[in-house]
Amino acid sequence: MESIWSRTVEIPERECLKEDIRVDAVVIGAGMSGLLTAFLLEESGLKTVVLEAGRIAGGQTKNTTAKITSQHGMIYKKLTENFGEKRAALYGQAHEAAIGELERLIKDNHINCHFSRLPGYLYSQKDRKALEEEAWAAEKLGLGASFTEETGLSFETVGAVRFENQAQFHPLEFIKAISGGLSIYEHTRVRKVRRNKVYTDKGRVTADHIIFACHYPIVNVPGFYFLRQHQEKSCVIAWDNVKPLPGIYYSIDKEGLSLRSSGNILLTGGGGFRTGEKAEGEIYTSIRKEAERFFPEGREITHWSAQDCMPHDGMAFIGQYSIFKPGWHVATGFQKWGMTSSMLSAMLIRDEIWEIENPYVLLFSPQRFHPAVSAGPFFQDAAQSMKGLAKGIVLLGKKEGKHRRCTHMGCALNWNEEEEIWECPCHGSCFDKEGKLLTEPSKKDLKE
C-alpha cells in the first residue's frame, strides 16, 4: 500500500518539540500545504515553525498523483452557472497563478523534482456533448482550453477538453528540497489551540499567526468545518512497463480512469466514495479491469488510496479561520486538486498576514456563504453524520470487540478490510488496527 513516491524518496527524520517556544507563525501540518505556507512565510521574513503529528508528507501528500492543473474535472460550466463568469474565471486564474508560482519556486531554488509542463485532458468514451459544453465554458473564461479529438491515448475516446501548459512532478522530491531549510518538529501532536498558543503533547508554541494546514481543521468551534465538508477516498494502481503518456488525463465517465505517467510507470486512478462507506477492494478491481484492457503491457507494481476534503460549494476554504479568531488561518477543502490548491493557499495566507491585496481572497474566503449551492450537500452530509452518531450512541457501554467509536464526536467506525484500518463515515477520521490516529479531524487515538 505504499505509493511510488514513498518508495523512491526518503525524507530525513526531524526531532520532536522539546520546549516551549515563541515564533512569528506556527503551521500545523507538514504536508504540501503546510510546508509551502511555511516556506513563503520564511521567505517573507517571518520566523516560522511547522508542527507535525507524524512524519513530513506522511499524510495525503505522499498519496497524491501530483497533477498540477487548473483543470479540476467538469467545473467551469458549473461554476459559471452557480457563481457567474467573473468568479468562474477568477477560480481558473487563481490555479493558473499557483502553477506559475510552483514553477518559480522550483527554478529559483534549483529543485530537481522532474517538473514538466504538458497538456491536461478531460476525456470521455461516451459523452461528447458534455465535453464540448465544458470546453466552450472554459474557453470563454480565457483559460487556454479547447475541444479536441486528438488525445494521444492509445484507446478510443469521443474527444477531450484540452488545457494547455499544465504540469506534473515528483511530489516528495519537491517536498524534500523545500523542507530542507525549514524548522519542523515531527512526532509532535497538537492537542488544543487557545488564543495565540498551540499546546502539543511535547510543549507549547506561542505565535502571532497560527495556520491550520492539517488537511482537516482540528478545532470544531468556531469555524464549524465539520458541517461544511466531508471526506472522500479514491484509489490508485501503478503499472510498470508503459510508454509515457503525452499529457495528464481525467475521465468524466463513471468507471473512467485518471492517468499520468512518471517515466515508464503509469498511474491509474479511480473511485471517489465517502470515507468508511465502501469496500476498496471493489474499486481496485474496477480500476484493474479497465487498466488491463487499455494497457495490457503494464505490470502492476503497487496500489494505494488517498483521502480528500470535499466542501459543499466546491471551493477550498483558504483564509481567516473565523471572524472570532483574527490570528488564525486555515487551508482545507482542496477536493482532489491538492497541488495547485496548496500553492494557492500558501500565497493567500502569506498575503493575508502581510495585508497584501490579492484578487482571489473573497472567492476562497472561509466566511463566504452560498446557501443556494451548499444547502443540498449540507443536508446530505448532516443526514450521514446523524446516522453515524446514532450508531455510535447504540455502542455506548458495549465491549469494544468489532465495534469502535470515533474520538472526534462519537460516530460508529467502520472496519476497512483492504487497508486494515478503522474509518469514520461522519467526517473521515481514520485509525490503525491498534487504534492509533491516522487522519484528522480527531485529535486522539482510540484508547486515549
Contacts to ligand FES by CB under 6 A: 406, 408-409, 411, 424, 426-429, 441-442
Minimal distance, residue 93 CB to ligand FES, in Å? 34
Q: Which residues pair with 145 in a beta bridge?
A: 163
Angle between the 85-108 and 76-83 helix axes, to the nearest 10 degrees? 130
Confirm if 122 and 160 have CB atoms less than 8 A apart: yes
β-pair partners for 190 = 200
Residue 412 CB, shortest distance to ligand FES, in Å, is 9
**Alpha-carbon dihedral 307, 312, 318, 323, rounded to 10 degrees:** -130
Helix (H, G, I), strand (E, B) or coil at 53: coil
- In the DSSP assignment, the letter for residue 218 is S
CB 89 within 8 A of CB 141: yes
Closest CB 98 distance from ligand FES, rounded Å? 29
Cβ density class 12-34: b for 16+ within 10 Å, e for less:
eebeebeeebebbbbbbbbbbbb
Q: By C-beta, is 67 or 408 nearer to ligand FES? A: 408
Would you say 258 or 275 has its CB closer to ligand FES? 275
CA atoms within 13 A on the CB side of 103: 15
* Smaller CB separation from ligand FES, 205 or 426: 426
Nearer to ligand FES among residue 210 and residue 424 (C-beta): 424
Cβ closer to ligand FES: 19 or 448? 448
Enumerate the H helices of 185-303 as residue ranges: 280-294
List of residues 6+ apart from 369 with CB closer than 8 A: none
Q: How far is 129 from 126, CA to CA, in rounded Å?
A: 9
Could you give the 3-state DSSP secondary structure of residue 433? coil
- Looking at the Cβ atoms of 60 and 258, the one nearer to ligand FES is 60
For ligand FES, the closer CB: 169 or 317: 317
User: Among positive and negative, which fits the CA dihedral 398, 402, 405, 411?
Assistant: negative
What is the closest distance, in whole angstroms, from the C-beta atom of residue 325 to ligand FES in the complex? 21
**Interatomic CA distance for residues 119 and 143, integer angstroms:** 13
Query: Quick one: 202 or 427, whose CB is closer to ligand FES?
Result: 427
At 132, give phi and psi (nearest 5°): -60, -40
- Nearest CB to ligand FES, comparing residues 59 and 119: 59
Alpha carbons 399 and 390: distance in angstroms, whole number: 17
